[in-house]
Amino acid sequence: MSIAELQKMDVVTKAVPTAQPLRKIVIAVDGPAASGKGTLARKIAERLGYAYLDTGALYRAVALAVLEMNGDPSRVGDVMLAVDVVKRNLTLELLASSLLRRPDVSEASSKVAALPEVRTELLEFQRSFAKNPPGEVGGAVLDGRDIGTVVCPDADIKFFVTAKPEERAQRRFNELQWHHPLLTLEKVLADLLQRDQRDKTREVSPAYPANDAYLLDTTKLSPDEVLDTAIYTVQKKFLGATDDHA
Ligand code: DC
């Protein structure tokens, strides 16, 4: 059954049964900015009781540290100093900080993420989170750009979340306009397209779907519809849900 067919069905509204496989499950959720991947990944983790890591926040934390040190986000020396600071001060509070959502931090994050040295430094942390997620949980959900292709190529299930650029820009604009009243939708769209381009064309770990990823277009779906589709896909794969479950 295709994702498109799944989307048309009245799928999964109940929590997944509690029985967990013996080994830890890894779920990779990749996709471009404001595609809905973060919301989806967090909700999957909540629904299944898994640990969640927003890997974009790692790059954003490095970007924020560079900016605070008055460094240049494209200069390896400056950025590696910031990586060092972040690695020594990494907390869940930092990764959840609203400072990381500032437009200048978004812009700088895609510059630091293009540096191979930075990616190598952050890779180990991401892999070890996936392998040994914190807490007594049955698995981990990681979202980013290269989770299914580079960080966890053996992930048990992979999603690649997309949406039309105009829809993504509108979502990001809605999030930001309260704190950034001078921002325009046109500027948000232009920045987003520029970041997409940088993320897709960088030499290391360019952002693209893994061959075995399920593609989810969220343009016309609510977050709950996207979640239901993803959870049904997970259930089908691991818990033997059948097509006539609905
Ligand atoms: O998902 P996000 O917008 O918070 O990501 C911030 C930046 O980090 C973005 O430019 C892409 C980059 N990134 C990456 O290169 N690899 C990841 N696994 C996650 C994010």
Q: pLDDT tens for the chain, 246 residues: list them.
A: 333 343 343 333 334 455 555 679 999 999 998 899 999 999 999 999 999 999 999 999 999 999 999 999 999 999 999 999 999 988 888 898 999 988 899 989 989 999 999 999 999 999 999 999 988 899 999 999 999 999 999 999 999 999 999 999 999 999 888 888 888 999 999 999 998 888 888 777 777 899 999 999 999 999 999 999 999 999 888 766 555 433
Mutational pocket test of ligand 1: of 145, 151, 158, 208, the residue with most ligand atoms within 8 Å of the beta carbon: 145
d(CA 56, CA 53): 9
Q: What is the distance in angstroms between the CA of the first residue and the CA of the last residue of the chain? A: 14
Mutational pocket test of ligand 1: of 106, 109, 158, 205, the residue with most ligand atoms within 8 Å of the beta carbon: 109
Nearest CA to ligand 1 atom 5: 56
- Which residue has tokens 């807490």? 135
CA of 144 to the centre of ligand 1 (A): 6
CA of 98 to the centre of ligand 1 (A): 16
Q: What is the dihedral of CA 230, 31, 90, 133, to 10 degrees?
A: 30
Output the pTM of the full model: 0.85
Class of domain 3-11+23-231 as given by CATH: alpha beta
Partnered with residue 29 across adjacent β-strands are 143, 159
List all residues whose CB is within 6 A of at least one atom of ligand 1.
Answer: 33, 55-56, 59-60, 109-110, 113, 144-147, 195, 199
Ligand 1 atom with minimal separation from the 60 CA: 6
Cα 180 off chain centre by: 23
Joined together, the tokens standing for residue 163 give 């949406």
52 touches 69 (CB < 8 A): no
Ligand 1 atom with minimal separation from the 142 CA: 18
